[in-house]
Amino acid sequence: QFGRTEVIDNTLNPDFVRKFIMDYFFEERENLRFDLYDVDSKSPNLSKHDFLGQVFCTLGEIVGSQGSRLEKAIVGIPGKKCGTIILTAEELNCCRDSVLMQFCANKLDKKDFFGKSDPFLVFYRSNEDGSFTICHKTEVVKNTLNPVWQAFKISVRALCNGDYDRTIKIEVYDWERDGSHDFIGEFTTSYRELSRGQSQFNVYEVINPKKKGKKKKYINSGTVTLLSFLIETEVSFLDYIKGGTQINFTVAIDFTASNGNPAQPTSLHYMNPYQLNAYGMALKAVGEIIQDYDSDKMFPALGFGAKLPPDGRVSHEFALNGNPQNPYCNGIDGVMEAYYRSLKSVQLYGPTNFAPVINHVARYASSVKDGSQYFVLLIITDGVISDMAQTKESIVNASKLPMSIIIVGVGPAEFDAMEELDGDVVRISSRGKYAERDIVQFVPFRDYIDRSGNYILSMARLAKDVLAEIPDQFLSYMRVRGIKPSPAPPPYTPPLHVLQTQ
């Protein structure tokens, strides 16, 4: 149990006020259940109250709905209409603000015997238990007692954990080459204080407690003044989703002969009646998370590397549902169905060409560059790629488009070429042109099968590793293009209920 709302008396249309703060991860499936009760007494024991029904959904479903507002029928009492629930989500702002600050100091203590001091500042945020954690150091300004430090940017999270009244401690040091920096003094403030900007409130006396204890006439060891304070809000992945950006998910499946005959248990495409094969698992793990962000849940599903009926021509870009004009399947289950149907009708062949399916999605992506749509292509393959040069060229061209490519390698093959496409170590290039941004994420499926063959544990991890880079790849496209999120639709306001008076 995560929490309970307040109780609202005598109404069938309650508008609950209590909010619940949860951690959100795009790449994880976070299942939620809401149970509704009619409270009859003060007892905290739920079995003492009337159950009114329940709703199951994922956090991604709420966040991915238009305006991050999900309306769902309440179920759980057979044969009874239980009403509807309206769930809304919003991102906490403090998590993504950054601050640009600049400080100077006056008349600091002279620590060096020959020259003046070489001062720098160290910032600490306080923790719940009263301890301090270092969060920023300024540069050293040489040979002065009146330094002006450069402006620096720090996230509000790092500075005070989003708590505006938490103590921030700042220490002033005189830099020494041997690392034994001399302590000049310290002072404390808070985000709320600093946010008043340049004013008499933000001039601080630097105090050295040792000197203060010893010398009666001690006033301070100088002053530090805040020169400027500017808040910048970073836009997040969720701002775009909330503003209506849709994520279009396309699947491409490798039908080359190296996968083995689907009728044989050794084949990667083996249709086991009791459990999913590796292709099915990868598809389900990734698809079930991504589908929360696609409003029509219609996914194009393609195959490559097979001979198609009736004439046996080889295709590297065919519709799994057999309809080239309309390759869309309904939901992940529809994709799975089309995949199994294809296995029965096509002949596995070769070679393994990626470029045609990448170019297929790129054609769609190049027609909507306004930030309203983003395309994710999932390629599931068993191996060695035949058209490396063309694939690299396709990826370099696609890196300018609103798209990302996920490659899941199944089976025991060597995947060196895939690692190269991933571009995490060396940015991918073709004919001397480098990819504008990294858009490929490769993961070998075998890393997620534990020795006992218990896959299920590993599916969540597979999805997590496969999808973790998508929000950043998405944001990098939007930033490079200067595309701002659309405003979210206005928040839901419940209709006013007329008060009935006796």
Q: Taking residues 71-99, report their average pLDDT.
A: 90
Neighbours of 207 (CB within 10 A): 19
Tens-digit pLDDT profile for residues 94-127:
667 889 999 999 999 998 777 889 999 999 999 8
Residues 6+ apart with CB under 8 A from 483: 370, 371, 477
pLDDT given for residue 492 in this prediction = 59
> How much is the pLDDT for 448?
84
Residues 84-103 have a mean pLDDT of 88
Q: How does pLDDT run across 341-363, given as a tens digit for each residue?
A: 999 999 999 999 999 999 999 99
User: Would you place residue 280 in the very low, low, confident or very high pLDDT band (cuts 50, 70, 90)?
Assistant: very high
pLDDT confidence band for 74 (50 / 70 / 90):
very high
Predicted confidence (pLDDT) at residue 433 exceeds the cutoff of 70 = yes
Question: Which of 201, 202, 200, 207 has the alpha carbon at shortest distance from 222?
Answer: 207
Q: What percent of the chain has pLDDT over 70?
A: 95
d(CA 479, CA 484): 8
The tokens of 280 are what? 């099915």
The DSSP string of 320-360 is: TTS-TT--EEEHHHHHHHHHHHHHHHSEEB-----HHHHHH
Burial classification of residue 439, based on how many CB atoms lie within 10 Å of its CB (0-12 exposed, 13-18 middle, 19 or more buried): buried
pLDDT (0 to 100) of residue 502: 45
State residue 456's pLDDT score.
Answer: 56
Confidence at 497, pLDDT banded by 50, 70, 90: low
Grade residue 414 by pLDDT with cuts at 50, 70 and 90. confident
**How high is the pLDDT of residue 275?**
86
pLDDT at 272: 87
pLDDT of residue 494: 56
User: Any bridge partners for residue 313, and if so which?
Assistant: 308
Name the average pLDDT for the chain.
Answer: 91
∠ CA 442-31-294, nearest 5°, is 60
Structural domains of the chain, ranges and CATH numbers in brackets: 1-91 (no CATH), 95-233 (2.60.40.150), 246-481 (3.40.50.410)
Please report which residue ranges of 291-438 form alpha helices under DSSP H.
331-345, 355-365, 388-398, 416-422
Of 97, 387, 405, nearest to 231 by C-alpha is 97
Q: What are the pLDDT digits (tens) for 153-193?
A: 998 888 998 889 999 999 999 999 888 999 999 999 999 99
Q: How far apart are CA 36 and CA 55, in angstroms?
A: 9
Rounded to two decimals, the pTM is 0.74
Residue 72 has pLDDT above 80, yes or no: yes
